[in-house]
Amino acid sequence: MHIRDGILGPEVCVAAAVVSACAVAYSLRRLRVDLEDRAVPLTGMMAAIVFAAQMVNFPLLGLPVSGHLLGGVLAAVMLGPWAGCLAISLVLIVQAVLFSDGGLLSLGANVFNMGVVGAWGGHAVYAALRRCLGTSVTATVSSAAVAAWLSVLAAAALFCFEFGLSSHSSGFDPSGVFTLMVVYHALIGIGEALITGAVLAFVLSRRADLIPAPTPLPAVRAVGQFGTAGLVAALAVAALLAPFKSELPDGLDAVSQQLGFASLETERPPLLLDDYAIPLPVEAWWSVSLAGMLGTAIVFVGAVLLARAVRWNTTPLTLADNTDV
Amino acid sequence: MTEPAILELRCLSFRYPNGRLALRDISCRVASRERVAVVGPSGAGKSTLLMHCNGLLPSPPVQQDGEAQVFVNGIAVTKPHLRETRRQVGFLFQDPDDQLFCPTVRDDVAFGPLNLGLDQHEVLARVERGLASVGMSGFTARNPAELSTGERKRVCLAGVFACEPSVLVLDEPTSNLDPRARRQLLTILRAFAGTLLVATHDLDFVIDLCDRVLVLDDGQVQADGPTERILSDPLIMDRHGLEVPWRLRGR
Amino acid sequence: MTEPAILELRCLSFRYPNGRLALRDISCRVASRERVAVVGPSGAGKSTLLMHCNGLLPSPPVQQDGEAQVFVNGIAVTKPHLRETRRQVGFLFQDPDDQLFCPTVRDDVAFGPLNLGLDQHEVLARVERGLASVGMSGFTARNPAELSTGERKRVCLAGVFACEPSVLVLDEPTSNLDPRARRQLLTILRAFAGTLLVATHDLDFVIDLCDRVLVLDDGQVQADGPTERILSDPLIMDRHGLEVPWRLRGR
Amino acid sequence: MSDSCSPDAGATASDTSLCHGLPADAKLSLTLLVVVVSGLIPLEHWPAQGLLLVAVFMALSLAGVTVRYLARRLALFLPALFVFGLSIPVASAEGLAWNWTLSLWLRCTVSFLAGLWLIHVLPLRELLSVLRRWHCPVVLIAMIGFMYRYVFILWDELRRLRSARDARDFGGASTWREWTISAQLIGLLLLRAMERAERTHRAMLARGWDGSIRSLDDDR
Ligand SMILES: Nc1ncnc2c1ncn2[C@@H]1O[C@H](COP(=O)(O)OP(=O)(O)OP(=O)(O)O)[C@@H](O)[C@H]1O
Ligand SMILES: Nc1ncnc2c1ncn2[C@@H]1O[C@H](COP(=O)(O)OP(=O)(O)OP(=O)(O)O)[C@@H](O)[C@H]1O
Ligand SMILES: [Mg+2]
Ligand SMILES: [Mg+2]
């Protein structure tokens, strides 16, 4: 998922960097910590955990591809959106500057896709879902799992969007890449969702105090939260619907026209579904929607099972814990 | 007491996040240059008490009247003053792994002096002296994680001594030390001119070093007095998971 | 020796990955039901030696002739036989944090018995007995990370006893234990019918428990003999960072 | 997780070469410059990109990076890039736009190698002091410092958990139990690491740490 230098145009990178820098600065302000607070080591440790987890690639359903944990939702659920965003940003900074994973110039884009949208957006989805589903273990775990899955799709969609905006991609129709990316990440996202859910379920069973419940918000902020959640979901849905774009209004084209990239349009070949030469066994839109439906189903079932398993394991112990105190 | 207290606890209570009440209403004063031992069964709250002297636990809810509960040299151990009080108090953790975190022994011992803002020269001299005093001079370049437990404990001690604090708060300094290192430590601590607060299960060590003993059990101070009197009292000792040491028996 | 050795080291040498030679050419035999203490200064190699008895270190390069160097009950402690030998040997780590890894005390003590394939009933009974013997019965549902160091040490001991091994290998069992827990441990170990190998700095404990002492220094066996003779020899003791215990002095 | 993926710290303080002697700010700015220039060169002008590649190679050899290390890193990096570069023209039904693909590969490789040069010559300590000079917030710098340290703590903790399990793993357990134990181990790793993080933080505070990065080697 890390975008390498050279893939996005420098203009897009710089724009993303500015946005990300502002987001990180805002996170820092909202967190309002000083060095003596435990938020400092905990954020550092969360970053280290995500960093370590990212070095482990998991094979994907036997396919010779592998992806890794983005961790945005995990961090945001455990530390809150602000520290979560910081933790993921730290991981990306350290990977870029000390391990040469990801790029220096595209650092901003990476932070935006995975840190800002992943943690802020993911947390908004999680909080909104939890508000609807309640505070039970099942609700927490499945909200987080769904948020994790959506955040991966959103990151993939954002990448496509950024790539489409880069000047050097003007010769190509990005929707083909779009399809590939979305199918691939719909599957990757399942891994992300299951890992996020499993870790949270475990932590909830042992140290529930480490996972703060989303606090009740004043009406205005609650609306903002639902709005952000909606945006992320919309982004993910847009990604899933992208292959149908010849029939639906083309969001990407509309945006590029408004932004003054209309000239690109003339160089585009005619868009027809049959023209896609995608190295997939089934037709593109089928594969995408299948992946989408399958992914959603697996994530939901997995999350519920996980939460169940945890409850089975711990019910007697939690009772004992309470009497002990 | 007319002498000003260098360390003072006023009705200190503390509850861990899991709900366990580890300290209940502890009050005590330690005068300058006093050597006090804190003894008691495991789980008595010794480590918890000692960590409060350095403000290492989430600050306890202050009392109703908003007053602090721990004072070092008259300064409240609360957030705004922590840096100041920590400069005066040297703290040894019970578990050496908690204390060592630098990549080499030298870096670890130098960590405190560097944070005191000393210059390179002075820092290096203190690292030398600290390590020499615990007999670990040859270990500067080693990785603390690759030392034996006793060696790690000694590096921790060197790190504390290198800061040259005026108050030493030591949690189980002799655990995992071999007899010779224990004797060296005893010699160093006897020569130490400041105030000393030691939590330990090694009662022989207490007899040799301290003039006052605080018996802690169940989070409360159960006895407080001169070493010989407390440690040779079979009633107190028995009730609180201790034993009258061999040397004080049959007197 | 005519008696079959339950634990045998044959020319055991071991080098840590960082190049440090921690054991040099150690040979020794421990007969069944013998109680042996391993003493020596810190860094002598005691923990390293003990860990070899349980195959916890990367197996040392076997000798030229391809022969193993550590045997338990005649079985080589090498990869293919590790499960077998570990069933017979109960191992206590020096640092309780190294040993505890389950989310609750009960799970941790039950871990070994469950892996022995015992049924639930028996496992629960052993957990009960193990915890009761170290005085920790009320702690089953607690999280080991939230215990005091001494309490953690006792949970570790319970975990070892619950497996009911025929050989006990204990690394510093008394460190961080309060005097009463130490006495309880002594009673348990005296009643224990199997073979015992204990590394410790607590020489009083050795006098009360063991019939044979092995002095280790610099990775080599420096002396090996009956407890009283070795521990009361000021020459040996002094040379290897030890001290003649108070009780054996002036004899 | 296996030991084979233990953290591979790039630069070490003991390395000495022409490049290591440069001021830290210069190292970082220079790399950024190369990456930006390489990004600005239009894809059609691949010869210019090639020149840049040669320059970066020279810098790498000056910094004393071994060919083996380079080969290892490139072997991990190139396949993914290869697939990506191919997928774009293929997926957009353009036929193979070889020029475009090759140029993109070249550009990405130049940036990647520049990054490798940087990690080889810039140790963490220098990075932190640069960030400090560039007015990065202290809290953020402290967090980076913590993160880097905690990666090693995490590995240490994993090793401890593993050997603790092994010591009492007598092999009588079912496969299902072994799986659940392994899964539990990962969850515990997280919890224990977080608890240990707090304790390490305490140890630093206990010895007067105030967030600044001080080192014995600073003035040498
Ligand atoms: N992190 C923690 N969370 C919750 N409870 C704790 C925690 N640490 C210790 N406790 C509990 O607080 C009480 C006091 O613990 P403390 O560590 O102060 O004991 P101690 O006197 O130092 O014992 P020892 O001699 O074994 O070191 C114990 O009952 C212990 O179980
Ligand atoms: N993980 C490791 N890597 C490298 N060297 C090590 C490691 N652990 C220990 N050593 C070294 O091996 C030697 C023996 O260590 P060991 O832990 O066996 O000593 P010990 O006799 O148990 O000491 P103590 O009484 O302090 O526990 C020491 O010199 C130590 O520095
Ligand atoms: Mg303690
Ligand atoms: Mg040892």
Q: For A183-232, what is each residue's pLDDT tens digit?
A: 778 877 888 888 888 888 888 887 777 777 766 665 556 666 666 666 66
For residues B49 and B54, what is the distance between their CA atoms, to the nearest angstrom?
Answer: 9
For residue B20, how far is its CA from the centre of ligand 1 (angstroms)?
9
For residues A193 and A236, what is the distance between their CA atoms, to the nearest angstrom?
Answer: 14
The beta strand positions in C61-150, using DSSP E, are 70-72, 75-76, 89-92
Among B65, B92, B81, B71, residue whose Cα is nearest residue B28 = B71
For residue B106, how far is its CA from the centre of ligand 2 (angstroms)?
18
Neighbours of A169 (CB within 10 A): 24
Helix (H) or strand (E) holding A18: helix A10-31
Half-sphere exposure of B210 (CA within 13 A, CB side): 31
Residue A133: the pLDDT is: 82
Q: Is the dihedral of CA C155, C159, C165, C168 positive or negative?
A: negative
For residues A78 and B194, what is the distance between their CA atoms, to the nearest angstrom?
Answer: 44
Residue A322: the pLDDT is: 29
Percent of chain B topping pLDDT 70: 94
Residue D215: the pLDDT is: 65
CA of D54 vs chain A CAs: smallest distance (Å): 17
Residue B38: the pLDDT is: 96
Distances (CA, A) of B46 to A294, B36, B164, C58, C157: 56, 13, 23, 38, 22
Within chain A, what is the greatest distance between any pair of CA atoms?
A: 73
The letter for the amino acid at C196 is L
* 8 Å CB contact of C54 and D168: no
From the CB of B46, is ligand 1 less than 6 Å away?
Answer: yes
Residue C208: the pLDDT is: 93
Distance of CA A194 to the CA centre of its chain: 13
Helix (H) or strand (E) holding A39: helix A39-54
A320 touches chain C (CB under 8 A): yes
Residue A10: the pLDDT is: 84
Q: Cβ contacts of residue A95 below 8 Å, gap of 6+?
A: A2, A51, A54, A101, A102
- Burial (CB < 10 A; 0-12, 13-18, 19+), residue D40, is exposed
From the CB of B219, is ligand 1 less than 6 Å away?
Answer: no
Those chains having 3 or more beta-carbon pairs within 8 angstroms of chain C are A, B, D
Per-domain residue ranges for chain B?
5-248
- Burial (CB < 10 A; 0-12, 13-18, 19+), residue B77, is buried
Class (C level, CATH) for C5-248: alpha beta
- CATH of region A10-247+274-322, choose from 1.10.3720.10, 1.10.4160.10, 1.10.1760.20, 1.20.1740.10: 1.10.1760.20
Instruction: List the residue whose alpha carbon is closest to atom 31 of ligand 1.
Output: C147
Over B142-168, what HEC string results?
Answer: CCHHHCCHHHHHHHHHHHHHHCCCCEE
A80 torsion bin: left (phi>0), alpha (psi -120 to 50), beta (else): left
pLDDT (mean) for B69-83: 85
Q: For residue D135, is pLDDT > 80?
A: yes
Q: Which residues of B touch A209 (CB under 8 A)?
A: 17-18
Q: What is the four-CA torsion angle of D198, D203, D204, D208, rounded to 10 degrees?
A: 130
Among A110, A103, A185, residue whose Cα is nearest residue A151 = A185
Nearest CA in chain B to C172: B176
pLDDT (mean) for A14-26: 91
How many residues in chain C? 251
Condensed to tens digits (0 to 9), the pLDDT of residues D74-122 reads: 887 787 777 777 766 665 555 556 777 788 888 888 888 998 888 888 8
Where does the pLDDT of residue D11 fall: very low under 50, low under 70, confident under 90, or very high at 90 and above? Answer: very low
Phi and psi at B41, nearest 5°, equal -65, 165
Condensed to tens digits (0 to 9), the pLDDT of residues A266-314 reads: 333 333 223 333 333 334 445 555 555 555 555 556 655 655 554 444 3
Those chains having 3 or more beta-carbon pairs within 8 angstroms of chain B are A, C, D
Query: Both tokens of residue A133?
Result: 């589903």
- What DSSP state is assigned to residue B102? S
From the CB of B143, is ligand 2 less than 6 Å away?
Answer: no
From the CB of C179, is ligand 1 less than 6 Å away?
Answer: no
* 8 Å CB contact of B246 and C246: yes
Query: Both tokens of residue B3?
Result: 């002498």
Of A9-13, A72-76, A94-98, D198-202, the range with the lowest mean pLDDT is D198-202
Of A92-96, D131-135, D164-168, the range with the lowest mean pLDDT is D164-168
For residues B158 and C176, what is the distance between their CA atoms, to the nearest angstrom?
Answer: 20
Of D149, D207, D210, the CB nearest to B163: D207
Atom of ligand 2 at shortest range from CA of B153: 26
Residue D183: the pLDDT is: 66
Residue A317: the pLDDT is: 30
3-class SS of residue B196: strand
Q: For residue A234, is pLDDT > 50?
A: yes
Q: Are A192 and A152 in contact (CB under 8 A)?
A: yes
Q: Which residues of B touch A38 (CB under 8 A)?
A: 58
The letter for the amino acid at A45 is M
Q: Which of C16, C18, C202 to mutate to test the pocket of ligand 2 (most atoms within 8 A of CB)?
A: C16
pLDDT (mean) for D125-152: 84
For residues A132 and A141, what is the distance between their CA atoms, to the nearest angstrom?
Answer: 13
Of B94, B172, B242, the CB nearest to C179: B242
Burial C16-54 (b: 16+ CB within 10 A, else e): eeeeeebbeebebebbeebbbbbbbbbbbbbbbbbbbbb
Q: Which of C147, C157, C182 to mutate to test the pocket of ligand 1 (most atoms within 8 A of CB)?
A: C147
From the CB of B136, is ligand 2 less than 6 Å away?
Answer: no
Residue D13: the pLDDT is: 39
Q: pTM for this structure?
A: 0.78
**What are the residue ranges of helices labelled H in chain D?**
24-40, 46-62, 67-91, 98-121, 124-133, 138-167, 175-206
Q: How, if at all, do strands B89-92 and C21-31 pair?
A: unpaired
Q: ipTM score of the complex?
A: 0.74
From the CB of C151, is ligand 1 less than 6 Å away?
Answer: yes
Distance of CA B232 to the CA centre of its chain: 23
Of C98, C112, C117, the CB nearest to D168: C112
Please compute Rg for chain A using Cα positions: 20
* 8 Å CB contact of B83 and D210: yes
Q: For residue D170, is pLDDT > 80?
A: no
Q: Cβ contacts of residue C61 below 8 Å, gap of 6+?
A: none
Q: Which residues of C touch B37 (CB under 8 A)?
A: none
From the CB of B150, is ligand 2 less than 6 Å away?
Answer: yes
Residue D45: the pLDDT is: 78
Of A36, A209, A325, the CB nearest to B82: A36
Instruction: List the residue whose alpha carbon is closest to atom 7 of ligand 2.
Output: B146
Phi and psi at C195, nearest 5°, equal -90, 145
Neighbours of C209 (CB within 10 A): 20
Query: Which residue positions in chain C have pLDDT lower than 50?
Result: 1, 62
The closest ligand to the CA of C20 turns out to be 2
For residue C151, how far is its CA from the centre of ligand 1 (angstroms)?
8
